[in-house]
Amino acid sequence: MTIYALSSGPGRAGIAVIRISGRASRKTLYALCNGRLPAPRVSSFRRLRHPTSREMLDEAMVLWLPGPANFTGEDMAELYVHGGRAVVTAVMNALADVGLRLAEPGEFTRRAFGNGKLDLTEAEGLADLINADTEIQRRQALAQHSGAMRARYEKWWRTLLKAMAYVEASLDFSDEADIADGAFKEAVPEARSLAAELERALADGRRGEILREGISVAIVGEPNVGKSSLLNALAGREAAIVYDEPGTTRDVIEVSLDLDGYPFVLRDTAGIREAASPVEQEGVRRALAAAEAADVVLAMVDGSCGDVGAVPAEGEAGGAPLRGSIAGAAITPSSGVKLLVVNKVDLAPPPAPGSFGPEAIYISAKTCLGLDALKAALVRFASESYGSGEAPTITRVRHRQEIGRARAALVAFLDGAEAGEAPELAAEHLREAADALGRLTGRLDVEDVLGQIFGEFCVGK
Ligand code: GDP
Ligand code: ZN
């Protein structure tokens, strides 16, 4: 079935792009262009007419993109029409009138995948590229889309196939024990090195996923220390509600920020204290949950209060506990990263530098003093922890799960080999690993490649 869709954004615009893919592309374009099919891959100016009523619909630039050397691999056409809503509607209605169907979400890419134009990781990279909000996200998505992950996964795949081929060989030569044994033994180091490589890939601190989703930052502290004010100051707008009354911010409020290309999602939380009302207790519960799930916690204290309370011990890692409150004890972000932020330094007397420990960041959410230093600290943390998105290995939970499965199957193989497990069972473990890696790219078929590799093999000769 030939499909069409508005490929540019919705709403009024100078130009709108309507894309067509499928066998009827040529015929449809021919009719729209009044019998003057443009030369392939060259943009041409045409008056578009309704294929049956002949009514003029628009003047447009059109592209005729015959398959398979294009995005989907099928015949395609693109219409660059005037971006008014009525123009787009008229042209799309005309396409429906001649039997074309509106594409489902992702259907062009799905067809591209079906025609071998890209693998699953490259398709995901394309989706991420379209959704990328910041420079680092763009970089990571583009690397993935242009095959960086696919190359890595296929390299793993080849190592695994080598191991599989040895095991298959040992099964084939089961009548000749020393050949069978010899072949089987060759499989073990291949499986071992791959298992180690997968292990390393999994121990990446979730950098790809975090960059893709945004680095989550929770601002926590007692009521009235200035958490909401900081969020507003960073967001540059009134995103959170600021009141004098302690305990005002009950819900978790989110703001997305682009700092030097790094995507951050800041969450303002309810003040953490022994809450009076049930509503406030619920706020505290959510604040603690947000803090625990965060990649970084900004633990905020009011620097204008004389009572400093629990001053952090010298050299204590990742900041300091909050002064004398339940907050410091209760919050342990799973990432373990906590920055101490001392607010209200505009008030007299300002806290002596270093009085909250060497790592503390001194700010005024009101005058914006110190905000640049705070942003710089966040960016430094991000680049040290997550890199710059150039060589992604894992960017989705799906990847992590499949790599985890492949690794577990390899470990089962290695354990079995050590325990003298039957080669048939060993082969089964490897096949399981291959299935997991195959699902990663969606393109790797065990039977296909195994036949090919095994055909090139000569064991015992
Ligand atoms: P939250 O409960 O921690 O979210 O605190 P808010 O952001 O609601 O602020 C509580 C009060 O402290 C408000 O009256 C703010 O205007 C005030 N405040 C926040 N930050 C500063 C600051 O840096 N300097 C001064 N002088 N007042 C501030
Ligand atoms: Zn607040």
Q: H or E stretch including 362? A: strand 361-362
Task: Say how far apart CA 368 and CA 233 lie, in whole Å.
Answer: 7
Is the ipTM, as predicted for this complex, more than 0.95? yes
Interval between CA 220 and ligand 1 midpoint (Å): 13
Give the residue, by CA position, lying nearest to ligand 1 atom 15.
226
* 282-313 pLDDT tens trace: 777 777 888 888 999 999 999 887 544 444 44
Task: State the pLDDT at residue 245.
Answer: 61
* 404-436 pLDDT tens trace: 999 999 999 999 999 988 889 999 999 999 999
Sheet holding 296-302, edge to edge: 253-259, 262-268, 215-220, 296-302, 338-343, 361-362
Is 86 buried (19+), middle (13-18) or exposed (0-12) by CB count in 10 A? exposed
Mean per-residue pLDDT, 106-132: 93
CA nearest 298: which of 228, 242, 240, 352? 228
Q: What is the CA radius of gyration of the chain?
A: 30
Residue 59: strand, helix, or coil: strand
Ranges 36-50, 292-306, 432-446, most confident: 36-50
Interval between CA 378 and ligand 2 midpoint (Å): 21
Residues 439/402, Cβ–Cβ less than 8 Å: yes
Residues 446/431, Cβ–Cβ less than 8 Å: yes
Give the residue, by CA position, lying nearest to ligand 1 atom 25.
344
Among 219, 220, 224, say which to mutate for ligand 1: greatest number of ligand atoms within 8 Å of CB.
224
Lowest model confidence (mean pLDDT) among 86-95, 146-155, 258-267, 319-328: 319-328
Task: State the pLDDT at residue 58.
Answer: 98
Interval between CA 232 and ligand 2 midpoint (Å): 10
Interval between CA 367 and ligand 1 midpoint (Å): 11
DSSP summary character for residue 345: T
Mean per-residue pLDDT, 339-361: 83
Task: Say how far apart CA 35 and CA 29 lie, in whole Å.
Answer: 8
Query: Band of the pLDDT at 237, cuts 50, 70, 90?
Result: low
Across 298-322, b (16+ Cβ under 10 Å) vs e yields: bbbbbbbeeebeeebeeeeebbbbb
HSE, side-chain direction, 13 A CA sphere, residue 208: 26
Task: Say how far apart CA 342 and CA 301 lie, in whole Å.
Answer: 5
Task: State the pLDDT at residue 455.
Answer: 52
- Dihedral sign from CA coordinates of 150, 124, 428, 172: negative
Residues 101/68, Cβ–Cβ less than 8 Å: no
Task: State the pLDDT at residue 254.
Answer: 82
Task: Say how far apart CA 389 and CA 142 lie, in whole Å.
Answer: 9
Binding region: 19, 78, 117, 224-229, 249, 268-271, 461
Do you know the residue count of the chain?
461
